[in-house]
Structure 1
C-alpha cells in the first residue's frame, strides 16, 4: 500500500518533527522528574500539584502510567521514522497531531516549573483537546490491515494518553481552584468532588462510545480513578464519599469497553 503512494516533500519533514517533539518531551520529563538537582514536579507550585493538593488528586503510584505512555510514544517516534512509513496515509493524517501532543506534554512540565499554576491549566486543557482530536482521527482512519504494531502504537498509546490526561486535567483544575477559592468551600468539597466524578464518568463513556468502545482510554481513566480512591481513603485530604464515587465511576467507565472487547474476541471463534 505504501509503495504505491507517491512521497511528498513534507513526509520527511513530518518524521523529523515527530522525532524532535519526542526529544523535547523527554528532556522536559527528565527535568520534571527532578534530575540535574531540580525539584520534582510535585514539589513545584507550592505543592499544589502533589497528591494532597486537592480532593481529586490520585495517589503517587498512579503516575507510573506515564512510563507506559512515554515508552509508547518513543516506540511510535522510532517506528514512524522508518522509510516504509514515510508515505503512509495514516501517518500523514496523524503524525503532525501526535507531535503536537508531545510538544504540549513537555510544555506542561515547563509551565509547572516556570509559570503560574493557571498556566498549567491552560496547557493541559490544550493537550486534552489535541488528544481528543488525535484519537478521533485515529479511529476514523483505522485500517484493520495495518497490523498489531499500528494498532498498539497509534490507537493504544494515544488512547492511554487521552484517558490519563482526561483525569489529569480534572486534578490540575482542582489543584488550581483549591488555591483560589475561599477555605469555607472545604465543607462542600465532598459533594463537589462526587459531582465532578459523575461528569468524568459521562465523559469517559462518551469517549468510549465515540471510539466504538475502544479499551485504552477506559483503562487509563479507571487506573487513575482507582488510585484517586486510594488517596481519598488513606491519604490527605480524606473523603470516603469521593473514594467510593471514584471506584463506582471507574467500574462504569471500564465495564462496557471490556464487554465489547470480549465479544469481539469471541466473535471469530463463534463464526
Structure 2
C-alpha cells in the first residue's frame, strides 16, 4: 500500500465519527417526525414551518424527499465504513465535512422543537454552507468509481439541492412570522417571484461550480415543483408564483444537462483530434 491509501488509526476514528453523526441525525429525524415523542415539524413554531405558512412553502408531499436523502445517508455511512474505504484519500477529505452536515441536519430538527425560528435560520444557513463546502471538496477530488459517485456525490448533491430550497422556505417563514410588517402580505407574490429568480441563479451557479452535477439540480427542482403545486392547489394560493416555480424547476434541471452535454462534446472533440 502507498502512504495515501494505507489505513491509519485516525481513519477508523473518522469512520466511527461519521456513523455517530448520521445516527444522531436519524434519531433527531424520528423525533422531529413525532415517532419518539416529539412534535411533528409542521406543528412546531405555531405552524410557521408548515406547508401552508408562506407563499414559498412547498406542498407537504415535497418533504418525502427527506426519506430519500436519509436512505442515501445510511447507504453512504455503511459504504464508508467498509475496510476498503478506511484508507481512501477522498474519504479522508470528505468524511468529517459530511459528518458535520449530518450533525447540523439533526440539530436543526431539535432547534425547531425547542428554540426559535431565528435559531433554525442560523442553523440551516450553516448547514447550507457546510454542504457547499463539502461538494466543493468532492469536485476538487473527482470520484474514481461509480460507487464513489453514487454513495458520496449523489448523497451530498441531493442534500445540498434540497437544503437550498429549504433555506429559502425557512428564511421566508421567519421573516413572515417575526420580522415583516403585516403590509408585507400585499406584496408577497412579487417578493415570492423575486426570491424564486434568486434560487434559479443560485442553482445555476451551483451547476457551474459542480461541473454539471445533476443531483443538486434534481432536488432543487423537486422543491420548486412542489412550491408550484402548493400555491396552485392550497392556501396561500398564487397562480403567478406557481407558474414561475414550475418554469424555474425546468430551468434548474436544464442548466446542468446543457453543461454536461457541452462537456461531453468537448471530450469527444478532444478524443478525435
CA contact 2:39–2:113 (8 Å) conserved in 1: no
Structure 1 residues 249 and 120, CA, compared in 2 at 3 Å: closer, same or farther? same
- Alpha-carbon separation, structure 2, partners of 1:36 and 1:220: 27
CA contact 2:24–2:106 (8 Å) conserved in 1: yes
- Alpha-carbon separation, structure 2, partners of 1:155 and 1:21: 18
Deviation at 1:147, TM superposition (A): 1.6
Secondary structure at the aligned position of 1:36 is classed as: coil
The aligned residue for residue 253 of structure 2 is 254
Deviation at 1:265, TM superposition (A): 7.4
How high is the TM-score relative to the length of structure 1? 0.94
For 1:164-203, list aligned pairs within 5 A.
164-180=162-178, 181-203=180-202
Tell me, which stretches of 5 or more residues in structure 1 are unaligned? none
Instruction: Provide runs of 4+ in structure 1 moved above 2 Å.
Output: 1-9, 36-39, 258-268
Structure 1 residues 179 and 142, CA, compared in 2 at 3 Å: closer, same or farther? same
- Alpha-carbon separation, structure 1, partners of 2:34 and 2:193: 33
For 1:1-271, list aligned pairs within 5 A.
5-143=5-143, 146-180=144-178, 181-261=180-260
Secondary structure at the aligned position of 2:23 is classed as: helix
CA contact 1:42–1:48 (8 Å) conserved in 2: yes
Tell me, which stretches of 5 or more residues in structure 2 are unaligned? none
Could you say what the CA RMSD is over the residues aligned between the two structures, in angstroms?
1.8
Deviation at 1:5, TM superposition (A): 2.3
- Alpha-carbon separation, structure 2, partners of 1:58 and 1:87: 41
Secondary structure at the aligned position of 2:17 is classed as: helix
Deviation at 1:264, TM superposition (A): 6.7
The answer to which of 3-12 and 244-253 deviates more is 3-12
How high is the TM-score relative to the length of structure 2? 0.93
Give aligned pairs, total: 268
